[in-house]
Structure 1
Amino acid sequence: MQEAAKRFGTPLYVYDAAELDAALGRVHSAFGDARVYYAMKANPNLHLLRRLLAAGVGFECVSSGEMARAEHVGATGEHIIVNGPAKSAEEYRAGARLGATFVVDREEEVDLLPPGSRALVRVNPALAVSTHDHLATGAAQSKFGVSLAQVPGVLGALRAAGHTALGLHVHIGSAIRDADDFTAAFGRLRELREVTGPLQVLDAGGGWGLDADLSGIAREAHATAAHFGAQLWVEPGRYLVARAGTLLTQVVGTKHTGRDFVLVDAGMTELLRPMLYGAEHPVQALWEASAQGVWDVAGPACESGDLLARAVPLPTPTPGALLAIGEAGAYGAAMSSPYLTRSRPAEVLWTGQEWQLLRRRETPQDVWAAELTAAETPSAGC
């Protein structure tokens, strides 16, 4: 990683091809013949998408932009699922043109689908789950899905409107720590069998914690799919890419106020999850020193919440030393921001033999490229 930092600068997103392949291998090993769709929002880098499509993985898309990425790498038809609670007219048109499967998130959506659509009905099982509130999509108070009681009516409405009602979809959240949460969700779905009849597809979503009992979750998911006579689909996102990615950042200096801070050149604009969800990422010092201390890792933004980690044991930092922030392959680059007109970092891949540049570092000119200067702004006059 020292070599990558010297060649490409910092902050820098670094991906490991071997771990990408290993994560997909774990999913296939656990879920067997289930159809896999990658939740693109975790990391939409085109190189990663091409690798996954070549391995037979489809894409779950939640915007017209993500559908455009899927089409750009060659995915169409059954390789695309269109999800989201508030789809636009443009997104319905794009999904129809690509032959995608739509996830119906509310009763009224049946009337908005393009004619003859394939659809799944997203079920909200109304469960409290072991994750941050902002990530709990299957909670009763969340904005996602239809209630258990609404499911038969939505399936019937889809069929009456001439659509193909493939089956049910459930995704209870992300970074879920307790595998029993999935068992509870599948149990509530199985109660619907008497009113739905047999189905073609059960989409069990994703959201598995990185250390989850994947085999146990897969057994429950397959059993639930079999209960409906359905094929199992799954939608891993973070699980596939988080551990494959590292955010490299360089020490700028230290500061001692009410706490001891190591100041680095990456922050909330490069890794938002700690500020947004209170997420904890592993931190590794890529230097050695005899003295140790406990440090908060602070970024450069003029925001009190711009902290990548708190109370991390580290050797005494020196300017120019490198820190590796782990599990940054998901929602690092994807959520990166040009706030403060900061240039988004480069993304590189270690192939096992060489560093491959996947995305160049932005320049300030890239950040403001879409803005119109006074000379370019159309006149508002008559």
Structure 2
Amino acid sequence: MSLTSEHLHAAAQQYGTPLYVYDATELDAALARIRAAFGTARVYYAMKANPNLTLLRRLHAQGVGFECVSPGELARAQHIGAAGERIIVNGPAKTPGEYALGARLGATFILDREDEVALLPPSSRALVRVNPALNISTHDHLATGAAHSKFGVTLEQAPRVLAALRAAGHTALGLHVHIGSAIRDARDFTAAFGRLTELRGQTGPLGVLDAGGGWGLGADLHGIAREAHATAATFGAQLWVEPGRYLVAQAGTLLTRVIGTKRTGRNFTLVDAGMTELLRPMLYGAQHPVTPLWHREGTGTWDLAGPACESGDLLARDVTLPAPQAGDLLAIGEAGAYGAAMSSNYLTRARPAEVLHENGTWTVIRRRETPQDIWQAEDAAG
């Protein structure tokens, strides 16, 4: 991030903590890196990573499309004016409402199982998601291309689904493969693309190969792009990609203040953000960089513990900090993806505000919730 400690202190002072801050410069830079690597590939943002409307509008204005995996995400795409070839509808268990809205918007559907062909609205465009059944070098909960995952059809089923699409009068655009998230080892992508090439001669003509996303923040993007383009070329297809975390993670930081410390079985620094603000560490052991925004003599090793009455409410373990005191400010990095998006109202905790920094100015892009916001729907039901 290009934001300095002074920037972050000023934001925390003005808007309070916990607080999500985003750097517009880094968001634009990530998109530029993707386009530099993948060239002519069409880019669809995996909205689930961070669906904030301000960020979506910014990406939409830069020609990015959207991959939607819920009725609410489709509604967001519609709300910002995305339609037609700018929308992909994905997901393993789509509702009738998703098919209907997707059809009205002219979206492309990604089929996740054989019997989904019969559920499509008339004359739909569709891709068939293939599960390459690999051992993926990421957390098990993130390995969507593993044989035991719930996603996609098998290599053997894929040609049948394409044929069924054509027989039903739909446009069978091509194939889709997305093997997981936070994958740093490019060999996983090489293996997935290699499995797809086994289908040459069995699929009929393909217009699109959607190579998904899932690239780790330190992955060899240019190497992955070369292989993806080469695989698309074997089918004579256009390449599509679906970055999510890669596009927004490094643009976002979660700011949290120290509440106090305690020394029991371990050394704990207690902070005002936790699992309700950033679930990834508890959900699948994600490790986020932690930066103390103060200087003081004497360092120690601490676990960052949130305020929830849950033993698993830890943002990080074994972090080296200079003698933390109440009021100190910490920056949790790489939090722009699946941070605010996964935040919750568990314990009736109000979700934090979100602010965007651009050209020296902070803009509130989501106000901090109040307890009244949380129970409004309950009062209305009574």
Q: Fold conserved (TM > 0.5)?
A: yes
Match of 2:323 in 1: 316
The answer on 1:98 being equivalent to 2:105 is yes
Provide the rounded CA distance (Å) in 1 between the counterparts of 2:291 and 2:169: 55
Runs of 4+ in structure 1 deviating by more than 3 angstroms, as ranges, are none
Match of 1:87 in 2: 94
1:61 aligned residue (41, 63, 68): 68
> Deviation digits for residues 80-107 of structure 1, max 9, x if unmatched?
0000000001111110111100000000
Task: Output the amino acid matched with 2:20.
Answer: Y
1:119 aligned residue (110, 126, 140): 126
Provide the rounded CA distance (Å) in 1 between the counterparts of 2:358 and 2:365: 11
Deviation at 1:197, TM superposition (A): 2.9
Match of 1:253 in 2: 260
Match of 1:380 in 2: none
What secondary structure does 2:160 align onto? helix
What secondary structure does 1:194 align onto? coil
2:339 aligned residue (322, 328, 332): 332
What TM-score does the superposition give when structure 1 sets the normalisation length?
0.97
What secondary structure does 2:339 align onto? coil
2:23 aligned residue (7, 16, 23): 16
Provide the rounded CA distance (Å) in 2 between the counterparts of 1:225 and 1:177: 22
The answer on 1:227 being equivalent to 2:234 is yes
Task: Output the amino acid matched with 2:27.
Answer: L
Deviation at 1:163, TM superposition (A): 0.4
Provide the rounded CA distance (Å) in 1 between the counterparts of 2:48 and 2:176: 18
Provide the rounded CA distance (Å) in 2 between the counterparts of 1:369 and 1:132: 37
Structure 1 residues 31-42: aligned runs within 5 Å: 31-42=38-49
What secondary structure does 1:371 align onto? helix
Provide the rounded CA distance (Å) in 2 between the counterparts of 1:352 and 1:341: 35
For these two proteins, the number of residue pairs brought into alignment is 375
> Deviation digits for residues 112-165 of structure 1, max 9, x if unmatched?
000110000000000011100000000000000000000110000000001000
Match of 2:302 in 1: 295
Provide the rounded CA distance (Å) in 2 between the counterparts of 1:372 and 1:216: 54
Structure 1 residues 135-284: aligned runs within 5 Å: 135-284=142-291
Deviation at 1:198, TM superposition (A): 2.8
The answer on 1:52 being equivalent to 2:59 is yes
What secondary structure does 1:236 align onto? coil
Task: Output the amino acid matched with 2:202.
Answer: V
Provide the rounded CA distance (Å) in 1 between the counterparts of 2:373 and 2:359: 31
Match of 2:5 in 1: none
The answer on 1:78 being equivalent to 2:85 is yes
Deviation at 1:17, TM superposition (A): 0.4
What secondary structure does 1:146 align onto? coil
What secondary structure does 1:357 align onto? strand
Task: Output the amino acid matched with 2:154.
Answer: S
2:363 aligned residue (322, 337, 356): 356
Task: Output the amino acid matched with 1:347.
Answer: E
Any stretches of 5+ residues in structure 1 without a counterpart?
378-382
What secondary structure does 1:248 align onto? strand
> Deviation digits for residues 181-237 of structure 1, max 9, x if unmatched?
000000000110111133100000000000000000000000000000000000000
Provide the rounded CA distance (Å) in 2 between the counterparts of 1:141 and 1:290: 50
Task: Output the amino acid matched with 1:109.
Answer: E
Provide the rounded CA distance (Å) in 2 between the counterparts of 1:10 and 1:319: 13
Deviation at 1:177, TM superposition (A): 1.8
Provide the rounded CA distance (Å) in 1 between the counterparts of 2:313 and 2:262: 15
> Deviation digits for residues 16-37 of structure 1, max 9, x if unmatched?
0000000000000000010000
Any stretches of 5+ residues in structure 2 without a counterpart?
1-7
Provide the rounded CA distance (Å) in 1 between the counterparts of 2:268 and 2:201: 59
Task: Output the amino acid matched with 2:75.
Answer: A
What TM-score does the superposition give when structure 2 sets the normalisation length?
0.97
What secondary structure does 1:218 align onto? helix
What secondary structure does 1:242 align onto? helix
What secondary structure does 2:376 align onto? coil
What secondary structure does 1:126 align onto? coil
Provide the rounded CA distance (Å) in 1 between the counterparts of 2:53 and 2:127: 27
Deviation at 1:352, TM superposition (A): 2.8
